[in-house]
């Protein structure tokens, strides 16, 4: 099972978006759809789906957060034709950030926000690769020039992780700062992530629209990741934490869906009162008459 899963927060479109992605990308599908009731956002659809074999989760929980390019998803393709096919589908109702074309790092590449606001970098490569979807973090504004620090921070938290800066900006890359990260790669739990700095004018920052679920095997793992990652006490709620760079994470048990489904009339109110998820308390709530 994928240890770390990107989570997308929609207003009402989680199911529609998952169906859309399943139609845009190959090896993509909806795995499950469920609904939780009586939350602060009302009834919420929860969707589990795959894009190019990579697991995602999504929720429809109201217009609280908006997607922006601070976190994007790179879709790596084996042919130029595949890039063009995906691009054409994403372009319908989307907003181009970098035009589709040839760049020094790829013969075919483009960066686009789809009609829901989620950002995708579609790229052709001749190199060998296994993971087709890669989350990419862009450090801007208050956290500009923090990409290298951040990837080393994450690598120190997750066992067996590694991180490396692939390319740095030079003096010619103004307004970006010489030596800051043009692109970096880090591996957490066997999953590839990307990171970059950008000094250009951006009117956005990391927010809860995209978070990362960490599926924990037991309470000890929950306690460990909670202590290591949480840096904003005010953001702690229902298993959610925010790290010191502003990125949101959900520290939850891998059995969360099963636990919540046992007796949702009891487990949902119990979970909504929690900051850190306590597995024993969810089990206790599920057993209530």
Residues near 285 by beta carbon (within 8 Å), at least 6 away in sequence: 263, 266, 267, 269, 270, 271
Structure tokens at 233: 């006490």
Residues near 122 by beta carbon (within 8 Å), at least 6 away in sequence: 74, 75, 77, 83, 86, 87, 90, 100, 109, 110, 111, 112
In the chain, where the domains are located: 237-289
Residues near 4 by beta carbon (within 8 Å), at least 6 away in sequence: 188, 189, 191, 212, 213, 214, 215
pLDDT of residue 39: 84
Contact 116, 95 (CB under 8 A): no
The fold of the 237-289 domain, in CATH, is 2,3-Dihydroxybiphenyl 1,2-Dioxygenase; domain 1 (3.10.180)
The 10s digit of each residue's pLDDT in 58-102 is 999 999 999 999 999 999 999 999 999 999 999 999 999 999 999
- Residue 175: asked if its preceding bond is cis (omega within 30°), the reply is yes
pLDDT of residue 41: 83
Residue carrying the six token digits 């801007």: 140
**Polymer length of the chain:** 289
Pairing type for strands 119-124 and 71-77 reads parallel
Residues of the chain predicted below pLDDT 70:
none
Listed in sequence order, the DSSP H helices in 97-240 are 147-157, 219-229
Structure tokens at 167: 């390319």
Contact 225, 157 (CB under 8 A): yes
pLDDT of residue 123: 98
Q: If you average pLDDT over every residue of the chain, what do you get?
A: 96
pLDDT of residue 261: 87
Residues near 212 by beta carbon (within 8 Å), at least 6 away in sequence: 4, 5, 6, 7, 135, 247, 248, 249, 250
**What DSSP line would sit under 217-261, residue for residue?**
SSHHHHHHHHHHH---GGG-BTTEEE-TTS-EEEEEETTHHHHHH
Residues near 139 by beta carbon (within 8 Å), at least 6 away in sequence: 145, 146, 147, 150, 181, 195, 196, 197, 198, 245
Contact 222, 280 (CB under 8 A): no
pLDDT of residue 1: 82
pTM: 0.96
pLDDT of residue 243: 98
Contact 57, 6 (CB under 8 A): yes
């Amino acid at each position: 099972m994928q240890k770390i899963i990107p989570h997308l927060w929609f207003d009402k479109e989680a199911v529609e978006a998952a169906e859309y992605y399943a139609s845009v990308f190959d090896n993509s599908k909806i795995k499950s759809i469920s609904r939780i009731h009586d939350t602060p956002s009302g009834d919420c659809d929860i969707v589990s789906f795959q894009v190019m074999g990579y697991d995602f989760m999504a929720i429809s929980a109201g217009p609280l957060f908006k997607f922006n390019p601070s976190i994007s998803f790179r879709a790596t393709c084996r042919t130029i034709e595949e890039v063009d096919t995906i691009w054409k589908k994403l372009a319908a109702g989307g907003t181009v950030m970098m035009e589709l074309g040839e760049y020094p790092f790829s013969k075919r590449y483009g960066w686009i926000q789809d009609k829901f606001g989620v950002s995708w970098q579609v790229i052709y490569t001749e190199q060998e690769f296994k993971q087709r979807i890669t989350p990419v973090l862009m450090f801007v504004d208050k956290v500009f020039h923090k990409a290298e620090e951040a990837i080393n921070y994450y690598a120190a938290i997750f066992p067996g992780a590694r991180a490396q800066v692939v390319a740095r900006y030079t003096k010619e890359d103004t307004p970006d700062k010489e030596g800051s990260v043009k692109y970096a790669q880090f591996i957490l739990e066997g999953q590839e992530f990307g990171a970059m700095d950008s000094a250009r004018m951006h009117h956005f920052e990391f927010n809860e629209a995209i978070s990362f679920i960490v599926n924990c095997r037991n309470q000890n793992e929950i306690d460990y990741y909670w202590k290591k990652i949480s840096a904003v006490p005010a953001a702690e709620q229902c298993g959610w934490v925010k790290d010191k760079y502003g990125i949101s994470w959900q520290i939850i048990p891998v059995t969360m869906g099963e636990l919540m489904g046992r007796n949702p009339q009891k487990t949902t109110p119990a979970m909504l009162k929690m900051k850190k998820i306590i597995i024993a308390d969810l089990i206790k709530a599920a057993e209530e008459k």
